[in-house]
Structure formats: structure tokens, C-alpha cells
């Protein structure tokens, strides 16, 4: 698959939402001036409406994109709308957003209690907030994909399409696989991969790009000094894994070892 004009327009629109929402939420954090218990509610009054609006916008853009894509691949229409209550807010994690967005403050308080400086503590809190916000925006996308494609009988599978010039090894591995539409696509905070749908009458197979997958394994060996596609000499689950997170579903992540930098995992075009 290649990126079409539709893909690019959708990707650009979603990135615009991300930029706006993350910027506004980040400023709400840095502008607080103090990060005590009494400041939590003040922050949430500003940040949570922005997050919810961003999630709804991502969901709306995704639903429209999937409906348009469905007309192209199945030559028929689907309902195309989405129940925002199922793909935003509490539905994303089954945890109250107020609890989730108190966690950056707890990160600060924990760091201070461990003797860290205020600057270091605030940096950790800001990083936690950025990770949470990015995850929620991506969850709005993946939940919408699941809800919309459930009403598209002409679609059975989804695949991931890489967008960036540099994409992490996690997304690269995922882009070589196909997923059943009922399953949430594995994610990581900041992931901007497109979710493309595949017709029900065509199963591309579990591995859809053998060459790319082989190249990724080669790069793992270059970066780590060893590899084994059979998973005997090297346990690949400890290098690149897909695991279930209690709140947000499938998450792609590292366990233990990491690549040395983007050049180690970039596939040349």
C-alpha cells in the first residue's frame, strides 16, 4: 500500500489536532506556577475540556476517513457516524480522566519526596503528562477504528501504514502484520501510523511484508550484535513486544534493550 491523497489529508488534519491540543495542555501545566494538591483541580478545569475536544475531533476525522476509504475498497456506504461516548473520555481507559490527569502531579510529588530538585520533578511531571495526552489522542483513533469498522461488513482486517521519514522499530514491526478489525491496533505514545482497512474477501496473511520484516531483524542484529528469527538464541519478546496494558489495551514497547538511535532502525527507501 502507498499513501494516497486521502491518507495525507487525514494524517495532516490529525497531526494538526495533536499539535494544538498538546500545546494548549502543556501550557496549562507550565503556567500553573505551583503544583500542589490544590492546583490539581485548577489544571484539570483547563486541560480536560481541551483533551476531550481533541479526542472528539480525532474521532470525527477518523470516522470520516474510514467511511471514505470504505466506499473506495468495498464500493458501498456504511453508517460512518460514531458514538463519541464510546471513543473518548472515560471510555478510553475505563478510568475517570480526573484520576488519570492527576498522575503528573503525583509524579512531581514522588520525585520531590525522593530528594530530586524542583526542576527535575517538574520535568518528570511534564513528561508524564505528555505521554498520557498522546496516548489518549491515539486511543481515540484506535477506538474509533474498532467502532466504525464493526459496521462495515466489507472489511475484515486492518493494517498499519507508516507516515514518518523516521519510524520507530515498534511501528515498523507492526506495519509488517495484519490485524483483525475487532482488535485494537497496538500503540505507543506519539505513534502516528495510519490504520488502513482491508476487504473481507482478501486475507493478505499474517505477515504482509516479508522483506521489511527481514530487514528489521537485520537491523536488530546490527544494533545488538545478535538476532534469531526463530526466537531461540535471542528472545525477541525482550526486544520488541506487544503486551496488554490494564487501561489502554495493546501497547508496543521495549523490554530491557534499546536501539542506539533512529539511524539504527530506519529503513532506507
Domain positions in the chain: 1-152, 154-269
pLDDT on residue 28: 98
Q: Determine how many CB atoms are found less than 10 A away from the CB of residue 90.
A: 13
pLDDT on residue 237: 46
pLDDT on residue 263: 44
pLDDT on residue 20: 98
Q: How far apart are CA 67 and CA 99, in angstroms?
A: 34
The mean per-residue pLDDT over the stretch 65-78 comes to 84
63: pLDDT strictly greater than 90: yes
Q: Of 14, 7, 12, whose CA–CA distance to 61 is shortest? A: 14
Lowest pLDDT segment from 54-68, 159-173, 174-188: 159-173
251: pLDDT strictly greater than 80: no
Q: How large is the greatest C-alpha to C-alpha distance in the chain, in angstroms?
A: 62
Lowest pLDDT segment from 134-143, 186-195, 229-238: 229-238
All residues at 6 or more sequence positions from 144 whose CB lies less than 8 Å from its CB, including other chains: 58, 59, 62, 63, 66, 82, 87
Q: Give just the sign of the alpha carbon dihedral 106, 112, 118, 119.
A: negative
pLDDT on residue 261: 44
Q: How far apart are CA 174 and CA 134, in angstroms?
A: 19
Q: How far apart are CA 185 and CA 224, in angstroms?
A: 27
The mean per-residue pLDDT over the stretch 77-87 comes to 83
Q: Determine how many CB atoms are found less than 10 A away from the CB of residue 188.
A: 19
pLDDT on residue 253: 65
Residue 189 DSSP one-character state: T
The mean per-residue pLDDT over the stretch 40-69 comes to 96
Plot region of 3 (φ>0 → left; ψ -120 to 50 → alpha; else → beta): beta
pLDDT on residue 2: 56
Helix (H) or strand (E) holding 157: strand 155-161
236: pLDDT strictly greater than 50: no
Lowest pLDDT segment from 68-77, 111-120, 217-226: 217-226
pLDDT on residue 170: 73
> Hunting for cell 484539570 — which residue is that?
44
pLDDT band at 254 (very low <50, low <70, confident <90, very high): low
**Burial (0-12, 13-18, 19+ Cβ within 10 Å), 190:** middle
Amino acid at each position: 500500500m502507498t499513501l494516497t491523497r486521502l491518507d495525507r489529508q487525514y494524517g495532516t488534519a490529525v497531526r494538526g489536532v495533536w499539535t494544538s491540543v498538546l500545546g494548549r495542555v502543556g501550557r496549562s501545566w507550565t503556567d500553573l506556577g505551583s503544583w500542589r494538591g490544590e492546583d490539581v483541580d485548577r489544571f484539570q478545569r483547563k486541560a480536560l475540556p481541551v483533551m476531550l475536544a481533541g479526542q472528539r475531533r480525532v474521532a470525527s476525522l477518523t470516522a470520516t476517513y474510514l467511511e471514505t476509504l470504505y466506499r473506495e475498497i468495498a464500493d458501498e456506504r456504511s453508517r460512518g457516524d460514531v458514538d463519541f461516548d464510546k471513543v473518548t473520555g472515560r471510555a478510553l481507559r475505563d478510568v475517570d480522566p480526573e484520576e488519570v490527569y492527576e498522575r503528573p502531579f503525583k509524579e512531581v510529588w514522588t520525585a520531590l519526596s525522593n530528594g530530586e530538585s524542583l526542576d527535575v520533578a517538574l520535568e518528570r511531571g511534564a513528561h508524564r503528562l505528555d505521554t498520557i495526552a498522546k496516548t489518549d489522542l491515539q486511543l481515540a483513533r484506535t477506538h474509533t477504528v474498532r467502532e466504525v469498522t464493526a459496521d462495515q461488513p466489507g472489511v475484515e482486517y486492518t493494517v498499519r501504514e507508516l507516515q514518518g521519514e523516521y519510524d520507530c522499530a515498534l511501528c515498523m514491526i507492526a506495519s509488517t502484520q495484519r490485524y483483525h478489525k475487532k482488535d485494537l491496533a497496538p500503540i505507543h505514545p506519539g505513534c502516528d501510523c495510519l490504520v488502513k482497512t482491508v476487504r473481507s474477501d482478501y486475507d493478505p496473511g499474517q505477515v504482509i511484508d516479508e522483506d521489511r520484516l527481514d530487514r528489521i531483524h537485520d537491523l536488530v542484529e546490527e544494533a545488538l550484535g545478535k538476532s534469531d528469527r526463530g526466537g531461540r538464541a535471542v528472545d525477541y519478546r525482550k526486544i520488541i513486544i506487544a503486551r496488554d496494558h490494564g487501561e489502554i489495551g495493546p501497547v508496543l514497547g521495549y523490554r530491557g534493550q534499546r536501539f542506539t538511535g533512529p539511524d539504527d532502525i530506519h529503513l532506507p527507501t
